[in-house]
Amino acid sequence: MLDKQYIIKLLQLSGEKRTKLLQRSKEIKEETVGKKVYFRGLVEFSNICSKDCLYCGIRKSNTNVVRYQATDEEILDACRFAWKNNFASVVLQSGEISSLAFIKRVDGLLKKIKQLSNNELGITLSCGEQSKDTYKRWFESGAHRFLLRIESSNRDLYYKIHPENDKHSFKKRIEALGFLKETGYQVGTGVMVGLPFQTYADLANDLLFFKQLDIDMCGMGPYIEHEDTPLYQYQNQLKTKQERFDLTLNMIAVLRLMMPDINIAAATALQAIDPAGREKALSVGANIIMPNLTPCDYRKEYQLYEDKPCLDEDAELCRNCLEARIELAGSEIGYGEWGDSKHFYKRKS
Ligand code: 5AD
Ligand code: FES
């Protein structure tokens, strides 16, 4: 088990020693979860959000965003595309809403997605904090993975990037992660890297938090400032984008050493900094990628951060583009396979 001081050292590596770390992570990945990269078709089905996270472009108070809700037909079409193209899994993501109408809607969608794909499509949800009953209901209707990033495992930092109130409670977020595990989901969490006020010790603690929580999946991307958010005022205090990018790759590499058999996503935010960002993550420790299937008209209204890629490319273009990039990077796509977290099955048995 790596200790905190050693993790901090690894996160700070540069030059040749860093290259060695990244190389080791790649080897461990290939030995443990294999060379394949798995697709999760991402459908950002609504940007309506009841929360006001201080970093996020679709926060409730941002009135520059046109709010949308994709229709059932649009969502099901995107899922059908994923199924026909052998993606094997989709991720349904949205702003956080906990009304009964929303809960029912997601429930209905889950059943319809299972139906249209002969029960073949795997479904991951990324719809924020919900009650235990809601998580249970959605699980029974067909969702089997859930993504809920902790954003930062340091309570003080958490409240520097979220308003400190009941709606944004650190305690409730931790509880929600517990509910997800108890319900039986494969649980994914993660953090943003390069946040204002964030230290190397914070990041080391984030990795230890993942280990302690015994997560199945992880998504970590660089923090990218968004002009219409309160955190933008600290833009001059940030590491450069390149530094945030490099540090994110170090985080992925160290996590792969610590938790060799989990699934780690190549976050889309990496590509907002480097055009080959996601492939670079795949050639380090990541093994999951999320091609965007959101209907094109909505994409510009789902900009959590600036320079989000693929705004004009439709599902077909993103698929072709990613396929070419992944093959160029020397990996193979696990078409038609769920590519579930190996860690999850070990933890269950
Ligand atoms: N920069 C980078 N990532 C962000 N997210 C939200 N806003 C930003 C931002 N400004 C991430 C959060 C969230 C995920 C869906 O997107 O970590 O969990
Ligand atoms: Fe969308 Fe390349 S992945 S354009």
* pLDDT tens figures, 260-277: 999 999 999 999 999 999
Alpha-carbon dihedral 328, 282, 139, 208, rounded to 10 degrees: 180
Which single residue is written with the structure tokens 């792969």? 256
Q: Alpha-carbon Rg of the chain, whole angstroms? A: 19
- Give the range of the structural domain holding residue 74, as residue numbers without chain letter: 4-348
Instruction: State the ligand closest to the CA atom of 310.
Output: 2
Whether this prediction's pTM lies above 0.95 is answered by yes
The pLDDT assigned to 264 comes to 98
In short, whether 318's Cβ falls inside 6 Å of ligand 2 is: yes
The pLDDT assigned to 12 comes to 98
Structural domain count of the chain: 1
The pLDDT assigned to 181 comes to 98
- How far apart are alpha carbons 72 and 18 in whole angstroms? 46
Q: Sign of the C-alpha dihedral, residues 91, 267, 26, 4?
A: negative
Which single residue is written with the structure tokens 């509880």? 175
The pLDDT assigned to 328 comes to 79
Which single residue is written with the structure tokens 């965007």? 292
| Best residue among 318, 323, 326, 327 to mutate for probing ligand 2, ranked by most atoms within 8 Å of CB | 318
- How far apart are alpha carbons 193 and 198 in whole angstroms? 8
Encode burial over 308-345: b for 16+ CB neighbours within 10 A, e otherwise.
Answer: bbbeebebeebbeebbebbeeeebebbeeeebbbbbbe
Which DSSP string do the residues of 180-237 spell out, in sequence order? HHHHT-EEEE-BEES-TT--HHHHHHHHHHHHHHT-SEEEEEE----TTSGGGGGGGG
Q: Is residue 194 a contact partner of residue 248, using CB atoms and an 8 Å limit?
A: yes
Which single residue is written with the structure tokens 């209204």? 301
Instruction: State the ligand closest to the CA atom of 188.
Output: 1
Which DSSP string do the residues of 49-90 spell out, in sequence order? -S---TT-TT-TT-TTSPP-B--HHHHHHHHHHHHHTT--EE
- Tokens coding 34: 């294999």
In short, whether 317's Cβ falls inside 6 Å of ligand 2 is: yes
Per-residue HEC secondary structure of 135-159 comes to HHHHHHCCCCEEECCCECCCHHHHH
Residue-wise pLDDT tens digits, 156-203: 999 999 999 999 999 999 999 999 999 999 999 999 999 999 999 999
In short, whether 277's Cβ falls inside 6 Å of ligand 1 is: no
CA triple 289-23-327, angle to 5 deg: 40
Query: In terms of DSSP bridges, do strands 89-94 and 145-147 run parallel, antiparallel, or are they unpaired?
Result: unpaired
- How far apart are alpha carbons 102 and 96 in whole angstroms? 10
The pLDDT assigned to 6 comes to 98
Which residue puts its alpha carbon closest to atom 3 of ligand 2? Answer: 318
What CATH number does residue 206 fall under? 3.20.20.70
| Best residue among 49, 52, 56 to mutate for probing ligand 1, ranked by most atoms within 8 Å of CB | 56
- Residue 131's SS3 state is coil
Residues 6 or more apart whose Cβ sits within 8 Å of residue 286: 29, 252, 264, 265, 266, 278
Q: Is residue 186 a contact partner of residue 237, using CB atoms and an 8 Å limit?
A: no
Polymer length in residues for the chain? 349
In short, whether 322's Cβ falls inside 6 Å of ligand 2 is: yes
Instruction: State the ligand closest to the CA atom of 290.
Output: 2
Residue-wise pLDDT tens digits, 303-320: 999 999 989 888 998 898
* Residue 332, strand partner residues: 36
The residue ranges of the chain whose pLDDT is under 70 are none
Which residue puts its alpha carbon closest to atom 1 of ligand 2? Answer: 318
The pLDDT assigned to 296 comes to 93
User: For the chain, how many helices (H) and strands (E)?
Assistant: 13, 11
